Amino acid sequence: MVQIEKIRETIGKKFVEEVVQAKREKGFVPDPAGFVVIHVDHKDQEIIVEHYDYKRQIRFKIIGSDAETLSHTLVERGLVSRLDHAAYIGRELQKAEIALERDLAYTQDKGLREKS
């Protein structure tokens, strides 16, 4: 806490601090914009994001090699509308990127593992 006090003194502003216990979501809430299926293509060194509507019709296929540009493209095109969904997709895309970089098997919603 000493460092926080020094920063406050330096900046000269009052800060409100609140400690909040992190918690998981209570349940799945569908994103009105649709859902994604993420694949890793090791042969072509690509991450593939398929975006579907809730009639299970594919709307977009986005191909890239890193989580940042894929996330940006999803947001830019309005393919995600809920913050919790955007956070989930970001986590999954980061896992896919690590799988690509380290030659690991990737399955959405599962942990990374050695390829069989």
In a domain, 5, yes or no: no
Q: What domain range is 81 assigned to?
A: 28-109
Give the rounded distance of the alpha carbon of 88 from its chain centre: 5
pLDDT category of residue 24 using cuts at 50, 70 and 90: confident
Q: Using an 8 Å Cβ cutoff, are 92 and 40 in contact?
A: no
pLDDT category of residue 11 using cuts at 50, 70 and 90: low
56 conformational bin, left if phi > 0, alpha if psi -120 to 50, beta if neither: left
Q: How far apart are CA 62 and CA 74, in angstroms?
A: 8
Domain count, the chain: 1
In a domain, 76, yes or no: yes
In a domain, 13, yes or no: no
At 56 the pLDDT is 96
Instruction: Convert the pLDDT of each residue in 67-106 to its tens digit.
Output: 999 999 999 999 999 999 999 999 999 999 999 999 999 9
**Residue type present at position 35:** F
3-state class (DSSP) for residue 17: coil
